[in-house]
Structure 1
């Protein structure tokens, strides 16, 4: 069986080998990527395409515009008259709504 020092030396050698392989992977990826970029540029020039033709710069690069309601505040639909807390009716029910419904009240009782 190997002693502690031998195992440490093996570990150091494997870590060095791993670092070298990571560098080789990075270099190979960079070279492959450069070749693909060159090929894409060539095809774009050949067919007269621009980045706008590809939909670049739009939301997520998908060519879709963000929805009109994205990021908008929604008016509350329900109010707890005792505390003044409100809920829009979207998403999970707040604890005060859950407790009230569990105690026998109806959701419509809190409608604004």
Structure 2
């Protein structure tokens, strides 16, 4: 191994680039090796690539349906999830209940 103290700044930066490239190449090789192992494992069990893609598919969630509407402006609605809108807070402060604003 080189004595790092004897290297110039330019040589150290080149060494750093070389090490970064070597690390990237190593990670790529390991990833490809792991993928090949997974593929072989799946093939042994009769699974196709589309079967494996189910592992990474994300579930979609339907948009929440509004449960409350502002009596003064029907275009303002709230699902009941998350932080209460200002108009809900104002109505509650006036003595109304959530049931009064239910759609």
Question: Is the partner of 1:60 in helix, strand or coil?
Answer: coil
User: What is the Cα-based RMSD across aligned positions, in Å?
Assistant: 2.9
Q: Are 1:66 and 2:59 an aligned pair? A: yes
Higher strand share: 2
Distance in 2 between residues matched to 1:28 and 1:48, nearest whole Å: 29
- With over 3 angstroms needed to count, the CA separation of the structure-2 counterparts of 1:32 and 1:57, relative to structure 1, is closer
Deviation at 1:20, TM superposition (A): 1.0
* Greater relative contact order (CA < 8 Å, ≥ 6 in sequence): 2
Please identify runs of 4+ aligned residues in structure 1 that moved more than 4 A.
none
- Equivalent positions of 1:30-45 (< 5 A) are 30-45=28-43
1:24, distance to aligned residue in structure 2 (A): 0.4
Which of these residues, 40, 47, 50, is aligned with residue 50 of structure 1? 47
- 1:96 aligned partner: 87
What's the TM-score once normalised by structure 1's chain length?
A: 0.61
Q: Which segments of 5 or more consecutive residues in structure 1 lack a partner in the other structure?
A: 1-8
So what's the TM-score if we normalise by structure 2?
0.64
Contact kept in structure 2, 1:59 and 1:66, CA below 8 Å: no
Extract unaligned runs of 5+ from structure 2.
Answer: 1-7
Deviation at 1:105, TM superposition (A): 2.3
